[in-house]
Amino acid sequence: MTEAMNTNDADATRQPAGQVLDAHLHVLDRQVLDRDAVPVTTVDDLELDGIELGARIEPGSPPPTVSAILTGPQLAMRLFGGHAPAARRIAIPWRLVADIGTVVRLGVSGDDLDAGWVERWVSRHLIGRIPGGRHDPE
Amino acid sequence: MILSDLLGSVAVEADGTRLGTILDVRLEVSGAPAQLLAATVVTGVLVSPHSRFSTWGYERRGEDGPLLIARLQRWVHRGTFLVAWDDVERVDEGRVTFRPGYVQRDAMLPRATRERT
């Protein structure tokens, strides 16, 4: 650690321009709600744009950005290792996120997203075939 | 690249000296204006010199309770520091290399974040 400067207030002059979050602490595993506060999924992983493996990052390069929330098989991959093929990943584009607090809120309806296809399929093909499964309890 | 590829990576200096493990990635919602929320950019990485295990954020939020857990967590992640993304020179699989002369910054979150989440 000979070349590194160790400082507690080196960043004191730079005030963050927006909300500051730690990805693991504040975003991973949080519930995702749609614009009607209906649960959609949870944040299993995030896709980052702008990081090229093995390539030198030139000083002054634009920083990486968060491009999508990943869900579906991604949780098992995160826990046990490995990678799901990109085609199998279920992604919610980050541009649809409206707010990040104790939950992640989207600005769109969850019915329009691929992330809910399993629930929609089960609802239509399994629950819907049970007598009384297509309407509220009376 | 996905976030979990970065988490748990070994953090090293330019000369190969091991510094610790990438514990978290600091984000800032401050990029180009977008449809709903401004673009969210990576501003740095957090390095824990002593543990690669998940943290509950005690060392970044100044929380004290429950006291026993807070003390244990602070001890496990003692010396955790933040390195700005500008000081990252290279990202390889399982390894993040910092530039010569990189700066170790205070890992504490801003007050607004600590109060909100």
Q: How many domains does chain B have?
A: 1
Q: Answer whether A34's CB lies under 8 Å from A106's CB.
A: yes
Tell me how far apart the alpha carbons of residues B106 and B60 are, in angstroms, rounded to a whole number. 9
Is residue B64 assigned to a domain?
yes
Domain that holds residue A125: 23-50+62-129
Residue type, B99: R
Would you tell me which residues 36-75 of chain B have a C-beta closer than 8 angstroms to some C-beta of chain A? 36-43, 46, 54-57, 60
Is residue A95 assigned to a domain?
yes
Is residue B83 assigned to a domain?
yes
Tell me how far the alpha carbon of residue A26 is from its chain's centroid.
Answer: 11
Kindly report, residue by residue over A76-120, the tens digit of the pLDDT.
777 777 777 777 778 899 999 999 989 999 988 887 787 666 777
Chain B residue with CA closest to A10: the answer is: B105
Tell me how far apart the alpha carbons of residues A69 and A45 are, in angstroms, rounded to a whole number. 6
- Mean pLDDT over A123-128 rounds to 82
User: Does B115 touch chain A if contact means CB atoms closer than 8 Å?
Assistant: no
Q: In this structure, what DSSP letter does residue A24 have?
A: I
Is B28–A21 a contact, with Cβ atoms under 8 angstroms apart? yes
Is residue A138 assigned to a domain?
no
Q: Answer whether B6's CB lies under 8 Å from B91's CB.
A: yes
Is B92–A98 a contact, with Cβ atoms under 8 angstroms apart? no
Is residue A67 assigned to a domain?
yes
Is A55–B90 a contact, with Cβ atoms under 8 angstroms apart? yes
Tell me how far apart the alpha carbons of residues A6 and B74 are, in angstroms, rounded to a whole number. 19
Chain B residue with CA closest to A71: the answer is: B2
Tell me how far apart the alpha carbons of residues A90 and B26 are, in angstroms, rounded to a whole number. 24
Is A53–B4 a contact, with Cβ atoms under 8 angstroms apart? no
Kindly report, residue by residue over A31-83, the tens digit of the pLDDT.
999 999 988 889 989 999 999 999 999 998 999 999 999 987 767 777 777 77
Tell me how far apart the alpha carbons of residues B25 and B3 are, in angstroms, rounded to a whole number. 8
**For the domain that residue B93 is a member of, what is the CATH number?**
2.30.30.240
Q: Answer whether B38's CB lies under 8 Å from B23's CB.
A: no
User: Is residue A106 helix, strand or coil?
Assistant: strand
pLDDT at residue number B33: 66
**For the domain that residue A88 is a member of, what is the CATH number?**
2.30.30.240
Chain B residue with CA closest to A78: the answer is: B4
Is residue B115 assigned to a domain?
no
The interface pTM score, or ipTM, of the predicted complex is 0.87
User: Does B7 touch chain A if contact means CB atoms closer than 8 Å?
Assistant: yes
Q: Which two tokens stand for residue A8?
A: 């507690």
Closest approach of chain B CAs to the CA of A33, in angstroms? 15
Residue type, B70: A
Is A24–B23 a contact, with Cβ atoms under 8 angstroms apart? yes
Q: Answer whether B9's CB lies under 8 Å from B95's CB.
A: yes
DSSP string of A7-22?
-SSTTTT---SSEEEE
Is residue B116 assigned to a domain?
no
Domain that holds residue B43: 3-110
Is residue A101 assigned to a domain?
yes
Q: How many domains does chain A have?
A: 1
The model's pTM: 0.81
